[in-house]
Amino acid sequence: MSILDRLLRRNAGMSCQQVEAVMQQYLDNELDPAEVPKVLAHLEACKDCGLEAELYTRIQTSLRAHQEAPSADSMDRIRALAQELALNGPPEDAEPADA
């Protein structure tokens, strides 16, 4: 594809700013299906955005591969705390969240 074809294709579709605004939704498969072809076309035509999407994808893959699930004991304690807070509210001696 010639440079002129790339420029015309880029100008006819989404801009880099538009793609940047929806990149995370696209990568998380949460983007409106009607928008996906537009994003794909831009990523194919724009080297910078394509590389950025590839980098984000590699980061996501790496994080998923190294992500450890919390232990059963930790989850039990979190659930117990959530239930306690739901029933009784925060302790009276708790510091405000913005402190």
Q: Where are the domains of the chain?
A: 3-88
Q: What is the chain's pLDDT, residue by residue, as a tens digit (99 residues)?
A: 566 555 555 445 899 999 999 999 999 999 999 999 999 999 999 999 999 999 999 988 888 888 777 788 888 898 898 888 888 877 777 666 555
> Do the Cβ atoms of 27 and 56 come closer than 8 Å?
yes
Kindly state the tokens that stand for 38: 């537009």
- As given in the structure block, the two tokens for residue 20 are 């940047």
Distance (Å, whole) CA 30 – CA 54? 17
pTM: 0.55
Taking a C-beta distance cutoff of 8 angstroms, is the pair 49, 43 a contact?
A: yes
What's the pLDDT score for residue 95?
A: 62
